[in-house]
A and B are shown apart, each in its own frame.
Chain A
Amino acid sequence: MALPTKHVLGILVDNLLKRGSVLKLSPRTTVRWAQGLDIPRGGKTVIYTGHMYQLIPAISALATKMAFFENSWITKFFGLGRFANKFINLAWFMAQTDPQETEHYNNILRNITQLLQAAKIDFGYLYEEEMYSGALVHDEGVDDAFEQHAQRVVEVFRRNGVRSVITVDPHTTNMLRSVYPKYCKNYELEVKSYLEVLAESNVEALRPLNLDVTIHDSCVYARYEDVVMEPRQLLTKAGAAIIEPENAGKLTHCCGGPIESFFPGKAQAIAAKRMEQLAATGGNIVAMCPICLVNLKHAAKSMNTDVMDISDYLVEAYCGTDLPGSPHAVHNSDQYNEVVTHG
């Protein structure tokens, strides 16, 4: 028996309206990554995480449980679960996160901050006031709940006098840049992904990346937001040789992530299919979206390979930072600066 879409979606919508996110994290969890970075509070330009990277450890823990439930008798009780969730946040019991995984995803946000600082960009952070964008509820077509939430988010920007936002993931970029204007009157926020901001800056690499890098484009960056050249420019400028897998750029292949909450089995099959294409290139695989990253990482395990966030390599090149556990697996100085097309 499949997971009951009605109740799963019902829980996500209730959470968004009641708790401000489809999966409520404590404020301590969402801002912990910024500890010790001295990012000023607020400001005209802010980095906006939309909680996406912070949500991944909880989503990952929950997805394992949901995949187990997908074919079990427990699905019959999801309606009851939705009722109970109105009063107590069930996610706290369901999603026991792995501290190592939490550290890994928080570190990606620290990478991005360091990169923006290296590019001499002035920005603040909204800390506890920052909210999830509502992307999942929009994609599932629950428009009135989404609109209500979007207006709350916009109010936070107004209250803080924010004029321009630097996003860290494709979904929040798409919501704030292309979707919010359709739902919120007099919306004039300037929205750019950190990859676009870095590509426009004159940040220079401090340490060459003598690596073959296989890019997994995010569907939302490539086909919704036209962010295709920026990651390539930044990696090439740092000395990496780009390998294009089968299905690259505007024709990228989905990671399966968007349907993980409803059809975990189908989502994992898509991730495995994509991971095969990526692994066939033999390069160091990078993703630039937290959802892609967690889904592909999961599929990569059985293939004895791994996927890194693009910022892991960029921070090494542009900030000269040695990352703990940085793979540096396939160095290939012969193909330095050369674009290789595969497939």
Chain B
Amino acid sequence: MLRRLIIPGLAGFAAIGGLLSYTAFAEGGKSSSAIVVASNELATVLAPEELEQVGERESFISAYRRLTESQYRHAIADIFGDDIKVEARFEPERREEGLQAVGNAQLSVTTSGLEQYYSLARSISRQVVSAERETDYLPCDVTSSKDAARKCADEFVQEIGGKLYRRPLTKAERTLTLTIWDASAEGKDDYTQAFEHALTSLLISPEFLFRTEVAERVDDSDAFQLDAYSKASRLAFYLWDSPPDAELLEAAARGDLNTLDGLSVQVERLLDSPRFDLGVRAFFTDMLHFESFETLTKDTMTYPKFSQAVADSAREETLRFLIQHLVDDEGDYRDIFTTKKTVLNRTLAAVYNVPYPSREEWTTYEFDEDTERSGILTQVSFAALFSHPGSSSPTLRGKHLQEIFQCTKIPDPPADVDFSKVQAIEEGTVRERLDAHRTDPTCASCHILMDPAGLALENFDSLGQFRTLENGDPIDVSADIFGQEYSGATGVGEYMKSNPQVVSCVVQKAYAYGKGRKNDYREGQFLNSKTEEFADAGYQLKDLFRSLLTDPKFYEVEVPEGLSARTDSASLTTKAPASGGN
């Protein structure tokens, strides 16, 4: 049952209290579906009966988006240095509507997850204040007088807290964090532990672990948009997969991000940074379901070349390939399905059965023009992820071609499907085994969306190795895809490249990825126009991102029911004061 609740991080990191608060938060804070009101004191989750009063607010918290593992790691590395060890098992993320970015906006923290965060926070804090590093992060001598140390602690909390929370701390947040420092410093001559505890409380706070997106009223209208700091975070996490840097926070503080010019300057700066690669990695890691690499396995009797090194390399290949093609070479997005170019290491060269022509760990590579290799479709990542451990799977490949690249949701199979014939992989080809998919009308309605393209990829086994035979029988890679005849992976590549749905899909995903929620049908026109812009710009990824991130609609916040009416009595604001909450 939802109750008024003080969000915990500010209530200190005292373990039991923190756990209780988090538990309540987990139960009640179904983030985007709940209404969370922020004041300049404390963030509060409202009970349903209180929603009616929300209309008086000038701002509200529109979403809590849990940091992904990579975002957490990047944040710690940015703030404290990349030599800080982040050793923990992160809670699994959740995929909704084809994206973890959407699922993560629905996530809270389980009690075991909180234990992990707490343990990790303590570990990081210890490292930060350790004798080897304390001079880097503590602005004073930890053995100085208590008054001096307290003043120093205040500076520390403001500076580090601001980086962790990605905005200046409110006065209440500062006070509460310093209360923890005071409690730990009591009776001590060395205040190292007090700093450690204060930092732990910041690291365990939801304000760090979640991207709190605050919506504010636009001028005097009924519309809401993200406040400047939330925009800064959205930008930075989108383009760098990292928290905003000092320059972006300063731009937020100045209000630059609320003007198109100011916003454009920052978007351009972020796009031009080498760190943009991190953002591209994160986007495609999400879009391509690369969390599945965590559980990827193959039957090594059938695929002896498979190893963890191959799995790790395959993931890396595709990400490097996408950065190389889409960012470095400014290639056409559609060509990712047809190009003969990729980025290889020695391990993958063995799987692809080609010589590795470099002493470097990775190198660009171009397959011969007459090979069946066709962009991402025949990379080990796609071929292996969407196959079974002991055999390829035209159905899985076809399904994911639809869902990942064409935004077509394929329903789950009925519960009473007899898989025995499909699983008899010792004889014949899979095309024969999947005959029922074509002849049984119940199956055919869905499988006609999946199997033809998947069967055309059958020259590539469960590990992405080229083959022409299955169980000694020739493999037929012809395909009738919606009335058009295609052959083999190169044929599927051409089909994908010429399919407008493939283009509109990546626009839809890029938009939903940034907003952290499912696209609304009312946004169709907007997305169509962005798709046209994308096409006009030569299907350049940077242009797509630029177009989305400089559009005010990207920062618009849908007003929950009950919040549209405004009364003159409204006065609360959630904008964290640039001065630090005073």
Asked whether A and B interact, the reply is: no
- B contact set with A: CB distance below 8 Å: none
- A contact set with B: CB distance below 8 Å: none
